[in-house]
Amino acid sequence: MSTALVWFRRDLRLDDNPAWATATAEHDRVLPLFVLDRLLLDRAGPFRRAAMLGAITSLDAALRELGARLHVINGDPLEVVPAMVAAVGANAVSLNGDVTPYAAHRDREVDDALVVPVHASWGNGVQPPGSILTADGIVPRVFSAFYRRWQQQEFAPEAVPGEAEILTIDGGAKIPETDVHTSAADAEDRLHTFIEDRLADYPTDRDLPAVLGTSRLSIDLKTGTLSAANARRAAIAAGPIGAPFVRQLAWRDWFAHLLYETPTLVDTAQRPEYSAIEWRNDPDEITAWKAGMTGFPIVDAGMRELAATGYMHNRVRMITASFLVKDLLVDWRIGERHFRHLLADGDVPQNVGNWQWVAGTGPDAAPYFRVFNPTLQSAKFDPDGAYLRRWVPELASLDDRAIHEPSKLGPFELVAAGITLDADYPSPIVDHATARVRAIDAYKAARTP
Ligand SMILES: Cc1cc2nc3c(=O)[nH]c(=O)nc-3n(C[C@H](O)[C@H](O)[C@H](O)COP(=O)(O)OP(=O)(O)OC[C@H]3O[C@@H](n4cnc5c(N)ncnc54)[C@H](O)[C@@H]3O)c2cc1C
């Protein structure tokens, strides 16, 4: 009789879960385990923590429907996993790999401490990290080249669970309470509603922060309540209209590939010429950015949405990140840590990859001299100011044009709208045109040997 321990991490589902499918097919008995690693819980901000606990609770509920439960233990995986292997007499450990440097290091240490083999699969992306390489054996540095190979490479079939008995043993910890419940069934429902109602308009609506135009599946993909491969299958089944959404899933895989290949990317510029930028890192300006009090309505709306909900629309993530790095000349790592803390979908490969992309320090990023103009972005993507009115209500009385740049209004217009600058809403903390030149100069100086 063979027994496997399935160590769940960011793959909190039973469907299309390669580690679960392998273990339940190849062994007679399996023990589903989750280790509540305090270090990870403490590092997660409130929204990510709630999403994580919600997903664990939901996996437990799915196992209970099968007459079993998720065995949860508080502690350090380095001690817990070998102890549980010994406790159930497991012959193997089955898990899905993780590309973050912390997890990769932890998994190597646990593997070294185990006397049984570890069967590692990949269950959080579509194509496994390390599988898409150029002829020189590196991850393509240009996304379009990566995407071509990504599409041409064979896709794994859906991972179907086997017949193993699911072990239930005494002991284990109680899962902390959370009011967020993100089950795999809910994620599937959200995916199908998105495909039926919004996929056709995704190419245009995905850039409009006031519209629910995107899938809102990033938290499910992060915790693994939804299989990215299943999301791709469902979008492909919808026909050619699925392509733009599938492309975004490939971006996600690209950033995972890059971090898996080069773990130091987590805090070093991928393009070494940009490691010498002289950041200003002004503490008051960083505080104003975090608080949504920069005087740039679109930046403030995004930062307030993030602080209130743990989510920010992708277009606004780009605008707020660009504003911090270029307009305020603040080190991208400061912004990355802030986003990572607050985003419910905060995910190291995606967050680092996108921040490096916005900062121009990553591969295939826009050239350093292209600097987003927050006001023009605002007028283009939130033309009637609906998103601004939702998150910066003190400007709600301004008309659709004026709301993007209240500091340009004359005193009569401000009085008519009942707004006093610096009392009701701050004046801009920088002049964009001047800041743009300053940023370009700083980047240019870093590039000059
Ligand atoms: C500065 C910055 C930081 C970001 N940090 C994160 C992060 O920590 N975690 C995270 O999941 N995404 C991050 N993103 C990417 C993107 O903003 C979110 O994935 C997206 O907004 C989530 O909403 P959605 O699920 O409705 O997206 P949709 O538009 O419906 O996209 C579908 C899925 O594709 C993937 N995806 C979409 N855009 C990107 C992208 N630019 N990069 C990688 N994957 C993408 C996501 O998994 C997303 O759920 C960041 C983007 C920026 C500019």
Q: Which residues of 271-291 are buried (b: 16+ CB within 10 A; e: fewer)?
A: beebeebeeeeeeebbebbbe
pLDDT at 180 over 80: no
- Ligand 1 pocket, mutate which of 147, 204, 354 (most atoms under 8 A from CB): 354
Q: Give bridge partners of residue 122 from the DSSP assignment.
A: none
CA of 232 to the centre of ligand 1 (A): 15
| pLDDT one-digit tens code per residue, 405-437 | 999 999 999 999 999 999 999 999 999 999 999
pLDDT at 117 over 80: yes
> Tell me, what DSSP letter sits at residue 326?
I
Nearest to 146 by CA among 130, 129, 128, 134: 134
Take residue 84 and report the two structure tokens written for it: 């549980």
So what's the pLDDT on residue 208? 98
CA-to-CA dists, residue 116 to 84, 94, 111, 325, angstroms: 12, 11, 8, 47
Amino acid, res. 344: A
Q: Are 255 and 349 in contact (CB under 8 A)?
A: yes
Confidence of residue 256 (pLDDT cuts 50, 70, 90): very high
pLDDT at 41 over 90: no
Decide whether any atom of ligand 1 lies within 6 Å of the 354 Cβ.
yes
In ligand 1, the atom with minimum distance to the C-alpha of 353 is 42
Average model confidence (pLDDT) across the chain = 96
Which residue CA neighbors atom 19 of ligand 1 most closely?
218
CA of 3 to the centre of ligand 1 (A): 38
So what's the pLDDT on residue 279? 97
CA of 112 to the centre of ligand 1 (A): 34
Take residue 218 and report the two structure tokens written for it: 């990033």
Take residue 292 and report the two structure tokens written for it: 């949504």
So what's the pLDDT on residue 219? 96
What would the DSSP string read from start to end of 339-395?
HHHH-TT--HHHHHHHHHHHHT-STTPPPTT----HHHHHHHHSTT-HHHHHH-GGG
Nearest to 70 by CA among 143, 7, 161, 138: 7
So what's the pLDDT on residue 144? 97
In ligand 1, the atom with minimum distance to the C-alpha of 228 is 47
Please tell me the CATH superfamily of domain 273-447, with its number: DNA Cyclobutane Dipyrimidine Photolyase, subunit A, domain 3 (1.10.579.10)
Q: How far apart are CA 415 and CA 413, in angstroms?
A: 5
CATH number for the domain formed by residue range(s) 126-156+184-261: 1.25.40.80
Q: How far apart are CA 259 and CA 266, in angstroms?
A: 7
- Ligand 1 pocket, mutate which of 350, 355, 361, 381 (most atoms under 8 A from CB): 350
Which residue CA neighbors atom 38 of ligand 1 most closely?
248
So what's the pLDDT on residue 6? 98
- Domain 3-124 belongs to what topology? Rossmann fold (3.40.50)
| pLDDT one-digit tens code per residue, 290-320 | 999 999 999 999 999 999 999 999 999 999 9
Which residue CA neighbors atom 36 of ligand 1 most closely?
248
pLDDT at 72 over 80: yes
Confidence of residue 151 (pLDDT cuts 50, 70, 90): very high
CA-to-CA dists, residue 44 to 48, 123, 210, 307, angstroms: 6, 21, 27, 14
CA of 447 to the centre of ligand 1 (A): 29
Q: How far apart are CA 112 and CA 184, in angstroms?
A: 32
Q: How far apart are CA 399 and CA 409, in angstroms?
A: 11
| pLDDT one-digit tens code per residue, 259-287 | 999 999 999 998 988 999 999 999 999 99
pLDDT at 183 over 90: no
Instruction: Read off φ and ψ for residue 220, nearest 5 degrees.
Output: -65, -40
Instruction: Confirm whether pTM is higher than 0.85.
Output: yes
Domain boundaries, the chain: 3-124, 126-156+184-261, 273-447
So what's the pLDDT on residue 259? 97
Sign of the alpha-carbon torsion through 202, 205, 208, 213: negative
CA of 314 to the centre of ligand 1 (A): 6
